[in-house]
Amino acid sequence: MDETAADPTREARPSDPPVASLVARGGVGGILMGLANLVPGISGGTMLLAAGIYPQFIASIAEVTTLSFRRRSMVLLAAVVLSAALAILLLAGTVKSLVVSHRWIMYSLFIGLTLGGVPVVWKMIRRQTAAVWTGAAAGFLAMAALAILQSSGSGTEQSGIGGWVMLFVAGLAGASAMILPGVSGGYLLLVLGQYVPILTGIDQFKEALKALDMGRMFEVGLQVILPVGLGVVAGVVLVSNLLRWLLRHTKNATMGALLGLLIGAVVGLWPFQEGVEPELGSSFKGQEMTNERLAELDPADYPTERFAARPGQVAGSVALVAAGFVCTSLVARFGVRGGEEKS
C-alpha cells in the first residue's frame, strides 16, 4: 500500500527546504504555537499549518519517538520547541492578566478563534459518512461534559500529590494542541481548572529567574514546571503516534471526533461572566473564607458568575467573535497555501 495514502498526515508534504529555512520557519511556527498554548481557543497545530511546517513537524515527532534521529528532524524540533518555550515564558503573565481583567472581551475573542478552526478540520474530512457524524457527536458531548464539570467547580486545582497529578494530566491534554489542528490546548487547561495556576507558575518562574532566586525557581519548577513538562512530553509522544494509527485505521470517526471537540469547546466559553470575590464565611475549594484567606486569595482564583450583558457588550462580543473567526481562518488558509506553493 502507498505510504502516503495510508498515512493522511503525510499528504501534500512539502519538499524539504534548506536547513536555514527550516530553522527560520520552525522558529516562527514555534512562537505562534507558544502563543496558541497560552490562549484558549487557538490551536497550536493550526499555527504550525500557518508556518507551513505541519507535515514536517508530525513526521519529525514520529521519527524521534521511534528512535530515528535524523539531523533535519532534530533541527526542526529544536527550533519549534525552544521558540515556543520562549514565547510562553515571556508572555504568560500578560495573557493571564488580560483573561482575569477583561474576561468577557477575551472569551469573545476565544470563541471566534475556536470556531475559526472548524473550516480547517472540515477540509480534512473528505467524505461525510455515518462514522464522521457519530464521532462528531461523541466529541461534542465529551467537551460539553468537561465544560459542565468546570462550571460546577469540579475542575478546580488541587494541592500536593493531587495537584501534581492534575498538572501532569493538564500537560498531557495540552500536548494534543501541538498535534491536532483545531484543538486548543489552552481551552483544555481552562476546563481542567489548571489554566490560571499554570500561567501563574510560569510567571513566578520568570520573576524568580530575573531575581536569580534559585530557591524559588527550584520550588516553582518542582511544583509546576516539572509535572506539566513531563505531561507535555508524554502527550506529544502518545498523541502523535495514536493520531497516526487512528488516521490510518479509523480516519472518518477520528476526524469527526476532532470536529465535535472543536465545536463543543465553545460551550464553556460563555463570555458574559466575571470573577467574584467569595463572601466572608462562605466555603470555597473546601475551605471557610476568613479575612486572612480572603486577603491571600488571588483575584485570578475567584469563582466566576454570569452577568446580564449590556447591548454594547453584546455587540462588541459579536464583533470580537467575528474578528477571531476571520483571524484563525486567514492564518490557516495562509498555511495551507504556503504548503501547496512549496510542494
Q: What is the pLDDT of residues 33-87, one digit of tens each?
A: 887 777 665 677 777 766 767 778 877 887 888 777 888 888 888 999 899 888 8
Give the whole-angstrom CA distance, residue 34 versus residue 120.
Answer: 19
Domain count, the chain: 1
Instruction: Let me know if residue 303 belongs to a domain.
Output: no
Q: pLDDT class for 107, splitting at 50, 70, 90?
A: confident
- E strand or H helix at 283, and its extent? strand 283-284
Instruction: Let me know if residue 324 belongs to a domain.
Output: yes
Q: Mean pLDDT lowest for which of 30-44, 121-135, 309-323, 326-340?
A: 326-340
**pLDDT, tens digit (0-9, with 9 covering 90-100), for 269-311:** 788 888 888 888 777 665 677 888 787 777 766 777 888 899 9
Pick 323 or 171 by higher pLDDT: 323
Amino acid at 8: P
Q: Quick one: pLDDT at residue 82?
A: 92
In our burial notation (b when 16+ CB lie closer than 10 A, e otherwise), range 219-233 reads ebbebbbebbeebbe
- Residue 175 in this model has a pLDDT that exceeds 70: yes
- Residue 337 in this model has a pLDDT that exceeds 90: no
CA-based nearest residue to 194, from 175, 218, 169, 217: 169
Give the whole-angstrom CA distance, residue 181 versus residue 42.
Answer: 9
Give the whole-angstrom CA distance, residue 261 versus residue 267.
Answer: 10
Residue with cell 472543536: 262
Give the whole-angstrom CA distance, residue 302 versus residue 294.
Answer: 10
Instruction: Let me know if residue 292 belongs to a domain.
Output: no
Q: Quick one: pLDDT at residue 183?
A: 67
Q: What average pLDDT does range 117-135 have in this prediction? A: 83
As separate numbers, helices (DSSP H) first and strands (DSSP E) second, the chain gives: 16, 4
Instruction: Let me know if residue 286 belongs to a domain.
Output: no
Instruction: Let me know if residue 215 belongs to a domain.
Output: yes
Q: Mean pLDDT lowest for which of 148-152, 253-257, 276-280?
A: 148-152
> Range of 158's domain?
3-272+308-342
Q: Quick one: pLDDT at residue 117?
A: 74
Instruction: Let me know if residue 289 belongs to a domain.
Output: no
Give the SS3 label for residue 40: coil
Q: Quick one: pLDDT at residue 286?
A: 59
The three cell numbers locating residue 128: 461525510
Give the whole-angstrom CA distance, residue 33 versus residue 167.
Answer: 20
Instruction: Let me know if residue 132 belongs to a domain.
Output: yes
The answer to whether residues 65 and 244 touch, using CB atoms and an 8 Å cutoff, is no
Instruction: Let me know if residue 204 belongs to a domain.
Output: yes
Output the average pLDDT for the chain: 76
Q: Quick one: pLDDT at residue 4?
A: 40
User: For helices 195-210 and 71-101, what crossing angle results, to 10°?
Assistant: 100
* Residue 281 φ/ψ, nearest 5 degrees: 90, -10
Q: Quick one: pLDDT at residue 9?
A: 43
- Residue 245 in this model has a pLDDT that exceeds 60: yes
Give the whole-angstrom CA distance, residue 246 versus residue 242.
Answer: 6
CA-based nearest residue to 300, from 73, 158, 93, 71: 93
Residue 132 CB coordination number (10 Å): 21
Q: What average pLDDT does range 252-268 have in this prediction? A: 81
